[in-house]
Amino acid sequence: MSAVNLYSEAEQLEKKLNGASLDTRLALQPSVTKVIERMRQQGVHVPSRLRRLDAALCEDAMEARFDNLPV
């Protein structure tokens, strides 16, 4: 996949995530991580906004996992 295609895919995911519910954010988190991994593997520059978005989504996913643990 070319760099242009990777950037395009990342932008589409960003648009879907803009104002999305927590459930949608959790569902799309693996896709964002995979796009970033592919960018890194191909030596494509990963914009800082994508790294921040991925970090925030991973944090949401971790919090969601702990919210369901019995006390």
In this predicted structure, what is the pLDDT of residue 64? 85
| Cα separation, 31 vs 49, whole angstroms | 16
pLDDT tens digit sequence for 22-59:
999 999 999 999 999 999 999 999 999 999 999 999 99
> What pTM does this model have?
0.84
In eight-state DSSP terms, residue 43 is T
In this predicted structure, what is the pLDDT of residue 1? 72
Phi, psi of 2 (to 5 degrees): -80, 165
| Cα separation, 36 vs 34, whole angstroms | 5
Angle at 61 between CA 33 and CA 53, to 5 degrees: 45
Q: Are 16 and 48 in contact (CB under 8 A)?
A: no
